[in-house]
Chains A and B, each alone.
Chain A
Amino acid sequence: MHEMSLCEGMRGVIEDQARQHNVSRIKRVRVEVGRFAGVEINALHFAFDVVMRGSPAEGAELVTLELPGRALCYDCMKEVEIADRLDPCPTCGGGKLMPQGGDEMRIKDLEVA
C-alpha cells in the first residue's frame, strides 16, 4: 500500500531514537508486521533502502517478523487465529470475523553498528 510513507514514519522514529541514544549508525532494523497490515514486504524493503539514505540507518538490513492474524468470530464469539483475511472461522466455520489484531506495524529494535 503506502510503503514509502511507512518508511518515512520509520525514519522519523529511528532518527529520534538515534539522537536519544547518541548513536550515529544503525546496522539492523527489526520490524513486526501483522498479516493483515496490508504491507507488501518486497515493496517495504525497496522503499526502506531509498528512504533511509542520509539517515543513521542508511544501508542497514531490514528484518521483517510476521505476526499472526487474529479475529473475533461473531458466530461462536471466540477469538481465533486465521491465516487469510477472508478465511472462515476455524472453530465453527462461520464467516463473520472481525479482525482483533494482525494489523501491527511496529519497530521492534535497532542494532547499533
Chain B
Amino acid sequence: MSQERLIEIETDILSKNDSYAHANRAVLAGKGVFAVNLVSSPGSGKTTLLCKTIEALGDMPLGVIEGDQQTENDADRIRATGAPAVQVNTGKGCHLDGHMVGHAMEHLDLPDGAMLFIENVGNLVCPAAFDLGEDGKVAILSVTEGEDKPLKYPDMFTAARLAILNKIDLAPHCDVDLDLYETNLRRVNPGIEIIRLSARTGEGMADWLAWLRAHLADKVVPEAAQ
C-alpha cells in the first residue's frame, strides 16, 4: 500500500561522474601530477601538438590518455614518440567521463611529479560538462575554424583555462583575423589565457611549455611538502 509522496533529492544529474572525477583528482594530487584535459573540435591539432610537446619535454615523466570514438590511431602516434599512452574508445559516446579516465589512469600508473595529458574526443560541445579530475581544460582552436566559434560554442571556451590558437602558420593563407579570435574568446570567458601557436613551425611552443612547467611546479607531492 504505497502512499503518494515526494522524495526530495536535489542531486546533480552528473553527480556520479563528479564523484569519479573527485577520486581521480585526489589520486593526482597525491602524486603531484599536473593533468590537462585537451578539448577541441575534430582535427584542430591536439595529437600533433601533444607529439611535439612530448618531444620538447624530453625525459620529463608523462603519460597520455587518448579519447576517440574509434581506432587506436592517436595512441599509436603518441607511442611512436616513446611516451606511454592508453587509448579509450567511447563507441557512440561523445566525450570522456570520470570513470573511463580513472581506469585509464590505473593502466598508466604515472610516477610522482609527472604530467598527464588527456586528449578528449573531438567535440566542441559535450566534453565541457564532464569533469575528469583534471587541473584544467585547454581548448585548442585552429585558425581555419572561423573567428565566431567561441560565440557559437561558448560553453567549451568558458570551461577552459587556456585557449591555444593553433595552426597560425596558415593564417596568411586564409584571411583570418587573429585579434578577432581573441576578442571572441574573451567575450565568452573574460579570464581566459590565450597562446598563439603553430604545432607545425613551433612558433608559440615556448609559451605553452612554460605554461605547463609553471603549473606542474605548483603541484607538490604532499609528503615532499611536509
Contacts and interface: CB of A to CB of B under 8 A. Distances in A.
Interface of A: 1-2, 5-6, 9-10, 12-13, 17, 21, 23, 25, 31, 36-38, 74, 85-86, 95-99, 103-113
A89 to B, nearest CB: 11
Q: Main SS of chain A's interface residues?
A: mixed
A99 B8 contact: no
Interface of B: 2, 4-17, 93-95, 97, 125-126, 128-129, 151, 154-155, 158, 186-191
Contacts of B125: 1-2, 38
Nearest to A18: B7
27 contacts: A5-B94, A5-B97, A9-B14, A17-B7, A21-B7, A23-B2, A25-B2, A38-B129, A38-B155, A86-B151, A95-B187, A96-B186, A96-B187, A96-B190, A98-B158, A98-B189, A103-B129, A103-B155, A105-B12, A105-B129, A106-B11, A108-B9, A109-B7, A111-B5, A111-B6, A112-B6, A113-B4
Contacts of B11: 13, 17, 106-107
Given A38-B129, A85-B154, A98-B191, A105 B13 contact: yes
A94 B172 CA distance: 32
A110 B6 contact: yes
Contacts of B4: 111-113
